[in-house]
Amino acid sequence: MTTFRAALPDVQDAVLTAIAAALTTASVDVPVDLGHPGVDLRERHIWVDGVFEADLPRYISGGELRDEGGTVLVRCVCTAAGTWEDLRDDALTLVGYVEDAIHEDHSLGGVVQRAFITKLEGDYAVPDEYRRQYGVTVSVTYEIPVGSATP
């Protein structure tokens, strides 16, 4: 039996690795995780969201090579007692590291044909009476031909 295989988990891992490398190169100590860090959320944090969307532009059936395009969401969040402007600017600084990671290697180490940033979306929250939180979601879109996996 042939099983469906999406490239997206490999792309998520490659995006995470690329961002971690960009932060290391810049000597920036910001944690990067796969999925929401939960109770381990730090004042400055980046995570590759576990939620994904993959588009298959043509009908597929077992064993055929197909094109896959999808979007990986990267969350850049800052939480502190500062002003909204400071939090927004700090979150956008984190976005810059994500952009550097994608710009440095559009193939994400050969995992995809091409990756690029297609959307930024900012939002804010007040997690408690003492702190404010601002986050920017970065949509990293990719394209790749994918074959089906076999057992």
Residue bearing the bigger pLDDT, 20 or 126: 20
- Averaged pLDDT of the chain: 86
Q: Are 133 and 78 in contact (CB under 8 A)?
A: yes
3-state helix, strand, coil in the chain (%, to 5): 30, 40, 30
The helix/strand/coil state of 20 is helix
> Can you spell out the DSSP letters for 78-124?
EEESS-HHHHHHHHHHHHHHHHHHHHH-TTTTTTSSEEEEEEEEEEE
**Rounded to a whole number, what is the distance in angstroms from the first to the last CA of the chain?**
7
Residue of 98, 94, 96, 85 lying closest to 124 (CA atoms): 85
The DSSP code for 3 is B
The highest-level CATH class for domain 8-146 is alpha beta
Name the range with the highest mean pLDDT among 60-64, 132-136, 141-145: 132-136
Domain boundaries, the chain: 8-146
Give the Å distances, CA to CA, from 139 to 2, 60, 82. Answer: 31, 25, 26
- pLDDT at position 15 over 90: yes
For residues 83 and 88, what is the distance between their CA atoms, to the nearest angstrom?
A: 9
pLDDT tens for residues 39-71?
Answer: 999 999 999 998 777 766 555 555 566 777 889
pLDDT tens for residues 65-102?
Answer: 677 788 999 999 999 988 899 999 999 999 999 999 99
Residue 67 pLDDT = 76
Q: Structure pTM?
A: 0.86
